Amino acid sequence: MNGAALATRGLNKSFGSLVVAKDVELVLPHGVRYALIGPNGAGKTTLINLITGMLRPDTGRIFLGEDDITSLAPEARVRRGLARTFQINALFPQLSALEAVTLAVCERRGFAGVWWRGLPEYRDAADEAHAILASLLLGEHCYRLTHELSYGQQRLLEIALALATRPRVLLLDEPAAGVPRDESAELFAAISGLANDLTVLFIEHDMDIVFRFAARIIVMVSGGILVEGTPDEVAEDTRVREVYLGKAHHG
């Protein structure tokens, strides 16, 4: 546990007879870029849901730093520095991009409950939100309503919202899902440019991207972790070749 930013102990979860998490033991050290790969239905999104508290595990414990967060509500975990994005956009359609990120900043700074002062009085919150949007190339589009943004811009807004919570650990569920290949490289360049002390775990199917941007890779199959290692180790692992890469090569 020493020095781990995020860890899980014996995490299990079933939907009826379908086992989606099988004794998952995860240890993510500080500041490392992790890729979580595995075939569709392997339980990757479910694992993120378990870690962030959107699903309750059947058994097992989750640690953020030294703290056991297993019984905390999702929002409490976020306030302790655990943020996520969604595989399928989960945004605020009728808020402008700036409003959405400003909202996240207000929540983090603890004045989102203030109803007797105008939002414009919190000038630095809006400025911070704008800076986050600008860092993700959304500066020029920040006054547009979320539902008017292009799909790719909405994917970036997903990340902007997560960053506005100032996470220590960031879980990205297929951030580039549905984004054209050339744009997804750009998107991952932005991700790899994030602060060094931030621990990032991202789910991604494109192996080029995974090998380029991940320092370590976790391979998940049928709810269990098959292999964890550096890209080279994973690439040479015969089980991975069989179960995952092998299949991808043939199909």
Partner 1 sequence: MAGAAPEGVTPHQYLENQTRWRRVEIAFWLATLLPFVVTPTYLSLASQIAITALFALSLDLILGYAGIVSLGHAAFFGLGAYTAGLMSKFVWGEPLTGLVAAAAIAGLVGFATSFIIARFRHLALIMITLGLGLLLHEAANSASWLTGGADGLQGVDIWPLLGAFKFDLYGRTAYAYSLVVLALMFLVARRLIHSPFGLALRGIRENAVRMSAIGAPNRSHVRKVYTISAVIAGIAGALLAQTTETVSLEVLSFERSADVLVILILGGAGRLYGGILGAIIYMVARDQFSGINPQFWYFWIGLLLVAVVMLLPNGILGGLARFAERWQGGRR
Ligand X SMILES: Nc1ncnc2c1ncn2[C@@H]1O[C@H](COP(=O)(O)OP(=O)(O)O)[C@@H](O)[C@H]1O
**Count of CB atoms within 10 A of residue 47's CB?**
29
Contact status: 45 vs Mg ion (CB under 5 A): yes
Q: How far is the CB of 157 from Mg ion (least distance, A)?
A: 19
- Which listed range, 3-11, 45-53, 60-68, 214-222, lies at the site for Mg ion (CB under 5 A)? 45-53
* 37 versus 97: smaller Cβ distance to ligand X: 37
Please give the structure tokens belonging to residue 186. 């750009």
Taking CB under 8 A as the criterion, the residue among 68, 127, 208, 232 binding partner 1 is 127
* Owner of token pair 């600008």: 134
- Contact criterion met (CB below 8 Å) for 24 and 8: yes
- Which listed range, 1-9, 35-43, 112-120, 127-135, lies at the site for ligand X (CB under 6 A)? 35-43
Residue 216 main-chain phi, psi, to 5 deg: -140, 155
* Window 181 to 200, contacts with partner 1 (CB under 8 A): none
Contact status: 90 vs partner 1 (CB under 8 A): yes
Contact status: 13 vs ligand X (CB under 6 A): no
- CA torsion sign for 183, 188, 189, 190 is positive
DSSP result, 40-76: TTSSHHHHHHHHHTSS--SEEEEEETTEE-TTS-HHH
Size of the site for Mg ion (CB under 5 A): 2
Taking CB under 8 A as the criterion, the residue among 58, 66, 67, 75 binding partner 1 is 75
Residue 69 main-chain phi, psi, to 5 deg: -110, 10
Distances (CA, A) of 67 to 24, 62, 63, 71, 149: 18, 8, 5, 11, 38
Size of the site for ligand X (CB under 6 A): 11
Q: Is 135 exposed, middle or buried (0-12, 13-18, 19+ CB in 10 A)?
A: middle
Contact status: 46 vs ligand X (CB under 6 A): yes
Q: Which residues bind ligand X (CB under 6 A)?
A: 15, 18, 20, 38, 40-46
Q: Which residues bind Mg ion (CB under 5 A)?
A: 45, 87
Q: Which residues bind partner 1 (CB under 8 A)?
A: 52, 54, 73-76, 78-79, 83-84, 86, 90-96, 98-100, 102-104, 106-108, 111-120, 122-123, 125-127, 129-130, 142-145, 161-162, 164-165
